[in-house]
Structure formats: structure tokens, C-alpha cells
């Protein structure tokens, strides 16, 4: 009995010394050890940079455009064309990052590994918070690198085609930074959904529904119900539409600060609901 009694305080003190930085380090090790993490990051780079190169190459040269279009070519919004080419791949990359966010938590639920994490961190929330921080940082960094490369490629290709106007503006930096922030927030948003649903298939289906299916359904509803004006206004606040705004593309009447606030609210709601359910449900 004395040996068991002596072991208990030692075990308790070990758990008590499991500080948040150690939890954070543990989640970083788990995230980077997943094979899916590597392929996810590679996919983001390929999608963002690849689409930027393809769309930029598909744009006619300035000489061809001037010959075919005449003065109309002078009225083209070249900066918007470059922005579209540089950020188009972000619409697909967001899904890849979202899947990683779901799997970061649902994978542990399916294997039972989550019980070990909660045994080491009984309060549970630090585990979820550490996952969120790691996912945001990794997704933000890979988004920053990918978008910087895609903008460089788009501007370089357009310049080589004879477009001499200044294509790099101060807003370009915001587009790169905003797109990277959006990818980071999408990863955390998906983590929240994965925590709520727990199952990988269900979490991924929910992410696809919110990011792709919901905007289509709202657009169809707006077309069928033109008199319901609030529906068209509400569509501006969909998370994916605000992702376009953060990346430098037009998004109705919303300002950049409204874009980021809207995405933050979507992310916060998903994460908070997931955190509450994580505390109340069995692992």
C-alpha cells in the first residue's frame, strides 16, 4: 500500500507539470508525423501555383489583345485579372486545408488516441487549443509561401506578354497576407467541425457543404426568389465568399475588415461549439 500511495502523488505531479508549451509541442509532433500533412501542404502549393501559371499563360498578350480588341484593351482591369489568376487556386486549396483540419481531430477519435491525449491533459481544452494553433500556423505559412509564389508567377508572365503597367501594388501585399490568414482560419474552422461531428467522413462532408454547396444553394435561391432581398445580402456573409474578399477579389459591398471579421466569427463559432461539446461528451 505504501508503494502505491507513493506512486500516486508522483503521477499527479507529472500531469500537473504538463504545461501548455509541452502540449503544443506534442501536437506539433503529431501533426508533422502524419503522412497526410506532407501531402496536404504539397497539394496546396501545387494548386495555388499551378492555377496561377495556367491562367496567366492563357491570357492573350498585350499585342494580340490590342489588335483584336482595339481601344477596349486599354479599359481592362489588369490588376483584377492578375489577382484572379494568382488566387484562383485558393478556392481548391481551402478544401485541402479543411480536410487536414478535420482529420487532425477525427483521426484521433477513430483510433482512440484521443483518450491518451485526454489522460495526459484531463481539462481537454488545451489539447484542442494546441491543435488549433498548430493548424493555423502551418496553414498560414504554406499559404503565404504559395500565394507569394503565385503572385510572382502571374506578374512575371503578364509582364513578359507586354503588359507594362505596374501590376504590383500595395493591395497585393494585403491579398497575399489575407489569403494566407484565410487558409489558417479555414483549418481551425474545419477543426471545430471535426470536433463537433467526430467522424472523418461526416466532418469532411460538412466542410464541403459549407464551402462549396451552401454558396451554390444560396445563389440558386436568390435567382428563384428575387424579391427576397435579404437572401442576397446574407450571401455576402458566407465564409467562402469572404475568403475571396480576403484574397483581393471583389465581394459585394463588404470592406476588407468586414471580410476578416466574418471569417473570424464563422471560425470562432465552430471552434467554441466544438470545445464545449468536447468537454461534455465522452471521448
What is the pLDDT tens value at each position of the chain, 283 positions in all? 444 444 444 444 444 457 888 999 989 988 888 888 889 899 999 999 999 999 988 877 655 655 555 544 444 566 677 888 888 999 999 999 999 999 999 988 888 888 888 888 888 899 999 999 999 999 999 999 999 999 889 888 888 877 765 666 667 788 889 999 999 999 999 999 999 999 999 999 999 999 999 989 988 888 888 777 777 778 888 998 888 888 876 655 678 888 899 999 999 999 999 999 998 877 5
Closest alpha carbon to 132 in 28, 34, 261? 28
Distant-in-sequence, close-in-space partners of 73: CB < 8 Å, separation ≥ 6: 62, 65, 66
Burial 9-20 (b: 16+ CB within 10 A, else e): eeeeeeeeeeee
Confirm if 87 and 249 have CB atoms less than 8 A apart: yes
Q: Is 60 helix (H, G, I), strand (E, B) or coil?
A: coil
Where along the chain do its domains lie?
A: 20-280
Whole-prediction pTM: 0.85
- Contact yes or no for 93/43 (Cβ under 8 A): yes
Using CA atoms, how far apart are residues 223 and 243, in angstroms rounded to an integer?
A: 22
Amino acid at each position: 500500500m505504501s508503494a502505491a500511495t507513493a506512486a500516486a502523488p508522483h503521477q499527479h505531479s507529472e500531469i500537473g507539470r504538463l504545461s501548455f508549451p509541452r502540449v503544443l509541442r506534442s501536437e506539433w509532433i503529431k501533426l508533422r508525423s502524419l503522412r497526410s500533412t506532407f501531402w496536404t501542404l504539397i497539394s496546396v502549393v501545387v494548386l495555388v501555383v499551378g492555377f496561377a501559371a495556367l491562367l496567366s499563360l492563357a491570357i492573350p498578350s498585350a499585342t494580340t489583345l490590342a489588335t483584336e480588341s482595339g481601344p477596349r484593351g486599354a479599359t481592362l482591369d489588369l490588376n483584377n485579372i492578375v489577382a484572379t489568376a494568382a488566387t484562383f487556386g485558393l478556392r481548391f486549396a481551402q478544401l485541402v486545408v479543411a480536410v487536414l483540419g478535420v482529420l487532425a481531430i477525427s483521426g484521433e477519435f477513430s483510433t482512440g488516441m484521443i483518450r491518451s491525449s485526454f489522460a495526459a491533459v484531463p481539462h481537454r481544452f488545451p489539447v484542442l487549443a494546441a491543435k488549433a494553433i498548430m493548424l493555423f500556423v502551418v496553414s498560414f505559412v504554406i499559404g503565404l509561401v504559395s500565394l507569394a509564389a503565385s503572385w510572382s508567377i502571374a506578374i512575371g508572365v503578364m509582364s513578359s506578354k507586354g503588359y507594362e503597367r505596374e501590376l504590383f501594388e500595395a493591395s497585393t501585399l494585403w491579398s497575399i497576407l489575407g489569403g494566407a490568414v484565410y487558409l489558417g482560419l479555414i483549418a481551425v474552422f474545419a477543426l471545430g467541425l471535426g470536433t463537433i461531428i467526430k467522424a472523418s467522413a461526416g466532418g469532411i462532408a460538412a466542410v464541403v457543404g459549407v464551402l462549396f454547396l451552401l454558396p451554390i444553394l444560396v445563389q440558386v435561391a436568390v435567382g428563384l426568389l428575387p424579391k427576397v432581398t435579404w437572401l442576397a445580402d446574407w450571401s455576402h456573409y458566407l465564409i467562402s465568399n469572404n475568403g475571396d474578399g480576403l484574397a483581393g477579389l471583389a465581394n459585394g459591398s463588404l470592406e476588407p475588415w468586414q471580410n476578416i471579421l466574418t471569417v473570424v466569427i464563422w471560425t470562432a463559432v465552430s471552434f467554441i461549439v466544438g470545445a464545449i461539446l468536447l468537454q461534455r461528451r465522452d471521448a
